[in-house]
Structure 1
Amino acid sequence: MRPHLVEIVGGSAFPCPDGERVLVAMERSGASDIGVGCRGGGCGICRVRVIEGAHRLGKMSKAHVSDAELQAGYALACRLYPLGRLTIEVVE
């Protein structure tokens, strides 16, 4: 299976193999657009907003992504798994 393309608005684009987290794929590609913290869904440093594309999410802290924000496309890149081509933007 071909990896999914992840594009960051105003930044890098990199492949993300099926089942791999966006943050891990970004680091492996050598890009550094997204901040890296705990890598476990608890610190919120890797907060992004999905602009377009199918994805699934792993468990992450509600302190950093509320239910309303989740519905608006916000996620933590360390818990974001693309299911196809994905466009995201980094948020502070």
Structure 2
Amino acid sequence: MPEPYEIRIVGGAHFRCAADERVLIAMERCGENDIGVGCRGGGCGICRIRVVDGDYRTGKMSTARVSEAEREAGFALACRLFPASDLLIEVG
């Protein structure tokens, strides 16, 4: 099993997240609160972030919250974001 990845938030916290753990859940587990928390189910959009650097995969997200063009630009919902490398993310 790979070591947990380092997740860094531009101007904010950093924490570790395993490949099979959602970034939002890892942030909460580590006691951080830089990313807004809503439904945790991919529908509300409160945890919307942009991946600046790194590889990742996402689970199902509402296209009303993140369009296909936005996905291609690196936007995602942290509750549906799984790291595949260290990540640098922007909130807001």
Q: TM class, shorter-chain normalised?
A: over 0.9
Give the 4+ runs in structure 1 shifted more than 3 A.
none
Match of 1:27 in 2: 28
Match of 1:79 in 2: 80
TM-score, structure 2 normalization:
0.97
Q: Which secondary structure does the structure 2 equivalent of 1:78 belong to?
A: helix
| Offset at residue 17 of structure 1 (A) | 1.2
- Give RMSD over aligned pairs: 0.5
| Offset at residue 42 of structure 1 (A) | 0.2
TM-score, structure 1 normalization:
0.97
Q: Distance in 2 between matches of 1:63 and 1:51?
A: 22
Q: Distance in 2 between matches of 1:33 and 1:10?
A: 9
Query: Identity rate of aligned residues, in percent?
Result: 63
Task: Give aligned pairs, total.
Answer: 91
